Structure formats: C-alpha cells, structure tokens
Structure 1
Amino acid sequence: MADAAPRRAHIRPKHIAVANKRRASGQIVMGGAILDKAGNMVGSGMVLRAETEEEAWAVIKADHYWANNVWDKEKIIVRPFRINGLPQAQAKL
C-alpha cells in the first residue's frame, strides 16, 4: 500500500514486540523487508512454523500490521514451505 508508511511507523513497536515473542517461541522462523535494487522497501515476507494454512492465517490476522491496514491484505500469499537439510547460515547480500 502506497500510504502504509505512516501507519507502519506508528504501529511498528507493537508489531516487533509480538513478532519477537513469536520468533522466540519458534512460531516465526524469520521475517523482514523485501527490498528493491536501491534498497527501498517494496514489501515484506515471513516464514512461519504452522501445522495448517488456517493456523498461519490466524498468526497473520492477529498481527498489528493486519489490524492497522499496513499490509495490502489482498496481496498476501500463504504457501507451504519445507526447510531442507542444509546447515542454516546467515544470508550475505
């Protein structure tokens, strides 16, 4: 959403606090901003640990960004994802 930046800035501390708790519990594997080549935020992504698609949607809909219309709800995509057996390492861009 083009006008989401002011809403994001206002609600971000609450979003981050809840996301950090979910990450500590293992429910969120990772999340963050999707950037264009210039380093500008153009979207976001999140990898959740969930048993069902409904459980994933429940996490998304409980987020402060959902409730405050930061995310473009019609563009959210939920897909299964399997982590392979390779060692986990921090990505370097």
Structure 2
Amino acid sequence: MQFLVIARDGTDAEAPARRAAARPAHLENARRMKADGHLIIGGAMLDEAGTMIGSSMLAEYPDRAALDAALAADPYTVQGVWQSFEIRPFRVADL
C-alpha cells in the first residue's frame, strides 16, 4: 500500500539544530528504506526563504501499522525533529 507522508518540523528556536544533528542518520535510514523498496521518493519541504521546515515522501508498506513503525524509528522522530504527520493513502499513476 502506498502512502503520502507530510512530516512537519517543530517551530521552536532549537528545531533547525535538531534537524542538522539528526540529518546524517536520517539520510542513512532513508537510503535503507529506498534499498528495501519502501521509499518511492522523498525530500525536504522548504519555506519561502529556502529553510527546511519538514519532509514529504511517498512510501510503500504492507499496511499503515508498518509505515507507522518505520516513521517511529526514523532518527527525525526519535530525535524530536518531526513534530506532526499528515498521512494519506496514495496511488502513483501508471504513466
């Protein structure tokens, strides 16, 4: 099952520093997700000034529980970068 995930960072003054500290481990985790066939595409969401304020991804997991477990284990969740999620079932168009 495919999912659209929008993960928003915290808005406190320390949020950018938390993101920077967790980023190497998060990217390594994303590479594993991609290699395992779970990450279709993903990247940072930016504000108008180009500052990272969250993440979005298209992911594929057997069900919502498996996705939730993967998100809970991501370094951005563990280290308090991501503060909220919007998750929707999704279907990539067969183009």
Q: Same fold (TM over 0.5)?
A: yes
Q: Which runs of 4+ in 1 moved over 6 A?
A: none
1:85 is matched with which residue? 94
With CA pairs under 8 Å and 6+ residues apart, which has the higher RCO, 1 or 2? 2
- After TM superposition, the score normalised by the length of structure 2 is 0.79
1:89 is matched with which residue? none
Report the Cα offset of residue 78 of structure 1: 1.6
Q: 2:63 aligns with which of 43, 48, 52?
A: 52
Partner Cα separation in structure 2 for residue 57 and residue 39 of structure 1: 28
**2:76 is equivalent to residue 76 of structure 1:** no
Gaps of 5+ in 1: 87-93
Would you say the 8 A contact 1:30–1:46 is kept in 2? Answer: yes
Q: 2:44 aligns with which of 33, 53, 62?
A: 33
Partner Cα separation in structure 1 for residue 75 and residue 54 of structure 2: 16
- After TM superposition, the score normalised by the length of structure 1 is 0.81
Aligned pairs, number: 84
More strand by share: 2
Identity of aligned residues (%): 38
